[in-house]
Amino acid sequence: MQEQRRTPHSTAAQDRMAAILETAVTSLGVRGYYGTSLQSIANGVGLTKAGVLHYVGSKEGLLELVLDKMYDLQTDEIFAAMQSEERPLIAELWRKTVAVNAQRPELVRMFTTLSAEALDPAHPAHDYFESREGKTDDAAHTIRWSLPDGVQAGPLLQAGFSMMDGIQLRWLRNPGNDLNTMWSRCESVLMPYPLWQGYR
């Protein structure tokens, strides 16, 4: 998904770009990639289709922006910060990730919709989702986690992130629920006391 696109400098340009991305996130979450058109996004932000293309380069360029620059940015920062922690805890990684996602349901909906849609190898985001799991695993394994004796980080991380994907689906279906509370119940199953006393 490599495309030339304009880098906005002025405040007005930044506001237009933000409006384009916000509209795209909503549409992608509801309609998916194939059901979203650049024209509908243009209509939503008061621009022409050519005006939208001026900012994002192409429909695939727009997809890259909302995934790499919006969805992944905050979670990448969490991983980076954990690497400098004196006593990094996997429970804290998950809590921080859930806390971020609880504040951005539209982005989580978009990510979940695209993730399912991109099971098709022909989907333009297929490679992104296929490689993302590996990148997440690699990032998590660069951290020297503080763990109870006998616990291996790899299987625990895989189970936890899989559970997180599932709990976010339940949360999206029931928007009145609190994602942080839902996750705390999962954490109690993944990291039961007394084994995890002092490690979560």
Q: Write the pLDDT tens digit of every residue in 119-149.
A: 999 999 999 999 988 888 888 888 999 999 9
Express each pLDDT in 175-191 by its tens digit: 899 999 999 999 999 99
Q: How far is CA 56 from the centre of its chain?
A: 20
pTM: 0.88
Percent with pLDDT over 90 in the chain: 80
Percent with pLDDT over 70 in the chain: 96
Helices (H), the chain: 11-35, 38-45, 49-56, 59-64, 72-83, 90-102, 105-117, 126-141, 153-173, 179-190
**Rounded CA separation 62/70 (Å):** 11
